[in-house]
């Protein structure tokens, strides 16, 4: 029997958080953006591309820490073919 344990997400998603707070100051936005970049970097270093980053897939906890959720469209980076010479991950076809 296989068990999968996941953390219970009691956070807002970033979309609802933005609606609830009516936005936030530039410094706070920069701090959140840097967290997001670190999360994306961690996913890439694990050998995957998320391919579905959007505000509704970014959770924000009471401690204001971001978590990337819904990796259903993630694909291995080594299984991707790039459609341009610059290896732009936005234009990938992954199997």
Residues involved in catalysis: 52
Phi, psi of 2 (to 5 degrees): -105, 130
**Angle in degrees, CA 37, 41, 45, rounded to 5:** 175
Return the percent helix, strand and coil in the chain, to nearest 5. 40, 20, 40
């Amino acid at each position: 029997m296989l068990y999968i344990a996941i953390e219970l997400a009691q956070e807002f998603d970033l979309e609802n958080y933005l609606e609830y707070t009516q936005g936030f100051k530039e410094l706070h936005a920069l701090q959140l953006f840097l967290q997001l970049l670190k999360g994306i970097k961690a996913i890439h270093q694990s050998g995957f591309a998320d391919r579905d980053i959007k505000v509704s897939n970014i959770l924000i906890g009471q401690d204001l820490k971001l978590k990337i959720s819904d990796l259903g469209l993630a694909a291995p980076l080594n299984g991707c073919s790039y459609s341009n010479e610059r290896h732009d991950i936005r234009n990938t076809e992954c199997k």
